[in-house]
Structure 1
């Protein structure tokens, strides 16, 4: 086994720098949205409907006359809020469940795994649409639905690590020293099992952004006039055939750059935290 060449490490570093820059831009948009956006993101102006990009409206206006640049900036808050809350909730619930069902081998653990199998047997969009229809098309409801979809993924990932670690010699040594099951799980196993889960967090945020936009695109996410990237793309897609390209283009690019940001950061986190990622055969 040999380490990756220096050129590859520089490539990973450059990709991480791009991801970090994109993340900083999103944070700036979230914190300073009212100062950055020149117009209200929800106030319609029918007299300025479908104006192309100009000095007055940098990204143009949509069919209701709302400024697209302002809506893209404010939508950063909505999309990242939903995604981060969903992934954080899935992490907080899925990790303890995965830790317990991986540490204890009993019928209850098998039952929980079968429940996860049932959840993951549904197509993501179909299950997401069904749950949002039941809970209602609100921002927090979409975050809850995405958390439910991500919990089995985090639980399975941590369970696989726990199954590998629970038979290691250092766990046997902890048992011999009189450590309780709770102490072994949270002091010895969990810190060593979190590395792949932490990497998955970054990737999952990107997935959540795509799912949030996808649900809104098909009408199962947040509702108008809430500024949300997928909803804006959906509105603009119907106008593309008429040559009105700017309504869908700019929110679509926002989705691309946001997902790219977390994908690049996730790749870098994997390379830093996983020793095997730094080597090649």
Structure 2
């Protein structure tokens, strides 16, 4: 137990990994855990309250809420993880280049990012999905477009603060190429904020996906998706039908909480100031390389 990092033994880490493990189980074993089809309606079972037959009740079309919540885990996490992964893979190298090379190209890219981020993210996402179509992959592409500037700006800011450091000058003097300096030295030092942002962005992507579906701009019925389920039950809540919206709403809360907690854990694990306490602050260290240049 003593060899396990303290950050992994904290209550936040335990809760975060437990929620992540639960979601992975739901994704992998959804057909085994779901007692009903998530897309088959049964008019005779419309709006039944939670019971032994339907643990989370049924919605207005008679579809089982419990089964739809389980299958929606696949849809929401698929969209969120894919979109953030694409944004990370595009934004990180892009931010690295525009941070290392100064010029008109870097300025044009930054102005493009300013233009994208000048719009309210929810409004821009809604407009892009309306143009591209309400399909699962289109929603993922739109979210990737929205999150790419976030990762690019994070990496650029780190590179700008590192490119004039002594270890970069030493690498140039040793004959290292620009690509080697960027990917062998600068990227390793600049990745920490982006790695933490991955977990936070997945939570934000879950909220955006649910929000777009809630207003009818995301995926369409009968696809099981948490925001769409909350929307379908919102009109019945005033009539006392609380279960249709409550359970998918709780699923959103716990899923976002999971990735928020994991973001803090990743930050603590990767923070070089905590893993290299014996190193003098006056020495330039490249995390992952093993020592000063």
TM-score w.r.t. length of structure 2: 0.90
1:59 aligns with 2:56: yes
1:266 maps to what in 2?
263
Deviation of 1:267 after TM superposition, in Å, equals 1.2
Cα 1:10–1:67 shift into 2, 3 Å: same
Out of 134, 141, 144, the residue aligned to residue 144 of structure 1 is 141
Q: Distance in 1 between matches of 2:8 and 2:112?
A: 41
TM-score w.r.t. length of structure 1: 0.94
1:100 aligns with 2:127: no
2:131 maps to what in 1?
134
Q: Distance in 2 between matches of 1:118 and 1:94?
A: 16
Alignment of 1:187-206 (within 5 A): 187-206=184-203
The gaps in structure 1 that reach 5 residues or longer are: 1-8
Out of 177, 180, 183, the residue aligned to residue 180 of structure 1 is 177
Aligned residues between the structures:
271
1:214 aligns with 2:238: no
The gaps in structure 2 that reach 5 residues or longer are: 1-5, 278-293
Deviating runs (4+, > 3 A) in structure 1? 9-12, 275-279
Contact 2:155 2:191 in 1 (8 A): yes
1:250 aligns with 2:277: no
Residues 199-234 of structure 1: per-residue CA shift (max 9 Å, x gap)? 110010000000000000011000000000000000
Contact 2:8 2:14 in 1 (8 A): no
3-state DSSP class of the match of 1:194? helix
1:234 maps to what in 2?
231
Cα 1:266–1:130 shift into 2, 3 Å: same
More helix by share: 1
Contact 1:12 1:268 in 2 (8 A): no
1:35 maps to what in 2?
32
3-state DSSP class of the match of 1:40? coil
Deviation of 1:164 after TM superposition, in Å, equals 1.0
Contact 2:8 2:265 in 1 (8 A): no
